[in-house]
Amino acid sequence: MKTFRTLLWSEWKLSMRDMNIPLFALIQPLIVALVIGFLGGHPAYEGADYTFLQQSFGALASLAVCATGLMGLPLVLADYRHKKILRQFIVTPVSPAQMLIVQCVISLIVSLVSMASIYGLCRLLWGYRMAGSAPVFFLVYLLVVFSMFSIGMVIAGLAPNIKTASLVCTLLYFPMFFFSGATIPYEIMPVFAQKMMNVLPLTHGIKLLKAASLGLPFDRLTVSLAVLGGVGVVCAALSIRFFKWT
């Protein structure tokens, strides 16, 4: 346990020195939250019982998960493999598996800090309150984390070098950032665009997060649950099967 704590602390300091994580997972979500907050005081639609901001909180909470899962986690591990760092851990008290767990824990901590910051900001400036159940929201949030992190692990495991990993991460991150409902609400998009957005796993995650935060029923979201859970299980299995430490 002492080895794990030491590794966690050292990797945490290294991750905070890399401005990509603070920028994309902490600062950027707060900026998006500010924009939506200033524009989101009106009802989400005519006759709605909740505001545009309340509808958007689930999407805002997913931004850091997307950043850490598709940019932070896979790029760190791919870079460590490229530099032969993972192979060196084999002859130390730190196992490669511990390194993998530490990176997942760091990504989860960053995501949780980001969500808490967004909630605090929205509560302080606009009096935001979650209409749904907080425990249900957190369980759905963990499902989204599992799915996004699993995708990131597949990239980290299969990318032959850091350049390939960076390219794949970029091609996945930015479409999910802009076209999954994380920044542009799914509900205001035309039907043909919504059908294209449904291809992205994060779209289904945001649908579930919105329903949980607003206290809406999940009976119409069984497909989203199946897609998100299926992607997580399949990608986790692939990452375990094909992950290369050297």
Model-level pTM greater than 0.85? yes
CB atoms within 10 A of CB 238: 16
pLDDT at 235: 92
pLDDT for res 47: 65
Query: In the chain, how many domains are there?
Result: 1
* pLDDT value of position 91: 66
Taking the alpha carbons at both ends of the chain, their separation in whole angstroms is: 25
- Model confidence over 90-128: pLDDT tens digits? 667 766 677 788 888 999 999 999 999 999 999 999 989
Q: What is the pLDDT of residues 28-73, one digit of tens each?
A: 999 999 998 888 777 777 666 788 888 899 999 999 999 999 988 8
Cα–Cα distance measured from residue 78 to residue 202, given in angstroms and rounded to the nearest whole number: 22
Give the structural domain span for 22: 2-242
**DSSP state at residue 160:** S
For residues 50 and 209, is the Cβ–Cβ distance under 8 A?
no
| Residue-level pLDDT at 133 | 93
**pLDDT at position 239 over 70:** yes
Does residue 154 carry a pLDDT above 70?
Answer: yes
pLDDT band at 139 (very low <50, low <70, confident <90, very high): very high
Residue 120 belongs to what H/E stretch? helix 96-126
